Amino acid sequence: MCNTCGCNITPGNRPFVLAEKPKRGVTTVSVLQNLLSQNNHQAEHNRSHFDAAKVLVINLMSSPGSGKTALLETTIKRLRESLKIAVIEGDLETENDALRIQAQGVPAYQITTGSACHLDAHLVHNALHHMAIDGLDLLFIENVGNLVCPASFDLGHHRNVVLLSVTEGDDKPAKYPVMFRAADLMLISKTDLLPYLDDFSPNNAKQHLHDLANNTPIIEFSAKNGSGLDEWITWLQAEIAAYRLLLDSQQTLRPKVQQDGQLLHAQPGHNKYYPVL
């Protein structure tokens, strides 16, 4: 898969790829492990910027079309008078989502990754050169729609929110365990469609998540009719308050980056950009 989608090589880390072009005795594995190390170093740098600005950063992840942008639009409408919010959007192409967010009256910056199916810390750092974070309360990063790779990359954010749409199978947490183990909150989205979809059971989805030994909170949510919105807003406000208390004690929050996914990205055969020499 990664030969095609280029999930290890992004516009953000390509300079490091060129610098690490293998010489004799250097393997693909060592190059990719170093890319992950560079990413993690950049992520810590990003997080230090976020913490200095006291802005909570939430990484939104899901498959394409699960309703991440609609969630953001609804959230901004509810909170824009009480909280200062900005958004970083990630997609392979187009600025469509950033334009939707800007129409809500908040700053948004679009990252286009080309062929890369996830954001990385370098791409997020580059985006920060195009937006001011001082004075923000909340920064959302809408990751590229993909239930595999985004969970394996620390962006410097603090919390992961994973959306599961009722238009998908309720067994998605079992099929994509790396992604759903990373969730600090799972949102079951588009619940207004449940009366028309008798093959999706929210209870089954919750059980599959808990079978992964992840007891993270779960909220059933509809951006269309607003059900679950109050619970979602309460969760956000509690996270902001808890984060600020940690900052007061010189601590921070770190996301559940999935190390098994990182290791997969560094396995021989997972990426064929370089031969083993």
Q: Compute φ and ψ for 227, nearest 5 degrees.
A: -65, 135
Give the β-pairing of 185-189 and 138-142: unpaired
User: In the structure encoding, which two tokens stand for residue 137, read together?
Assistant: 């309360």
Tokens at 227, concatenated: 């059900």
Domain ranges across the chain = 2-265
Of the listed ranges 11-20, 117-126, 213-222, 241-250, the one predicted with least confidence: 11-20
Q: What is the pLDDT of residue 273?
A: 34
150 DSSP assignment: G
Q: Concatenated DSSP letters for 27-78?
A: -HHHHHHHHHHHHHHHHHHHHHHHHHHT-EEEEEE-STTSSHHHHHHHHHHH
Calculate the average pLDDT of the chain.
87
Closest listed residue to residue 157, CA positions, set 133, 121, 114, 197: 121
The residue with greater pLDDT, 234 or 214, is 234
What is the CATH topology of the domain spanning 2-265?
Answer: Rossmann fold (3.40.50)
Write the pLDDT tens digit of every residue in 20-43. 555 555 555 555 667 788 899 999
| Secondary structure class of 11 (helix, strand, coil) | coil
Whether the Cβ atoms of residue 118 and residue 149 lie closer than 8 Å to each other: yes
Express each pLDDT in 226-242 by its tens digit.
999 999 999 999 999 99
